[in-house]
Amino acid sequence: MHRFKFSGEPRAGVVLASLMLETLNALPANEMPQTLIGLPRHSWRAREFGFDQTLWLTRYLSRHLGIAEVNAHRVRHTPTQRGLDRQARQRNLRNAFRIDSPLSGRVVVVDDIMTTGASLDALARACLVAGAGEVQAWAIARTPSSSI
């Protein structure tokens, strides 16, 4: 995970995404979403990490699952979430995302690591505003709540 997130190594992402696909391919067809939306990073933050891991992961899943991908936009720069508690993370991301394409049906928001869920929640709210009927969150990993 560290190689994928902090060292910008897509090969590490292939291993992680392949494991994720094993689980997702077991979902019944009627439980699959119509759309995937990756948690957008600010462009300079993607450069800092070497590439945009979540965009890469979303595209990988989209290709392998045959599910449409829609881009979300970060409408304002937000400070890093590292070191913030749950409430501070939620405040930090309030109204931070926009989706220009109309959505419908089941939508999945994608992230590499879910810590408190504040980022995914803020993006999910933007999806509902854009018309999604249901929003799920998919992540490769989850930070243990005792570490937050």
Is 9's pLDDT higher than 90?
A: no
Q: How far apart are the C-alpha atoms of 87 and 141, rounded to whole Å?
A: 21
Q: Which helix (H) or strand (E) holds 49?
A: helix 43-49
Rounded mean pLDDT of the chain? 82
Q: How far apart are the C-alpha atoms of 111 and 142, rounded to whole Å?
A: 10
Q: Average the pLDDT over 122-146 and give the result.
A: 90
- Predicted local distance difference test score (pLDDT) of residue 116: 80
Q: Average the pLDDT over 70-83 and give the result.
A: 72
* CATH code at position 106: 3.40.50.2020
- Predicted local distance difference test score (pLDDT) of residue 33: 97
**pLDDT higher at 126 or 11:** 126
Residues 6+ apart with CB under 8 A from 70: 35, 36, 37, 99, 101, 103
104 token code pair: 């419908």
Is 56's pLDDT higher than 60?
A: yes
Q: Which residues face 92 on adjacent strands?
A: none
| Count of structural domains, the chain | 1
> Residue 8 — very low, low, confident or very high, per pLDDT cuts 50/70/90?
low
- Predicted local distance difference test score (pLDDT) of residue 71: 93
pLDDT tens digits, 85-126: 656 666 667 778 899 999 999 999 998 888 888 889 999 999
**pLDDT higher at 23 or 147:** 23
Q: Are 17 and 140 in contact (CB under 8 A)?
A: yes
Domain encompassing residue 104: 2-147
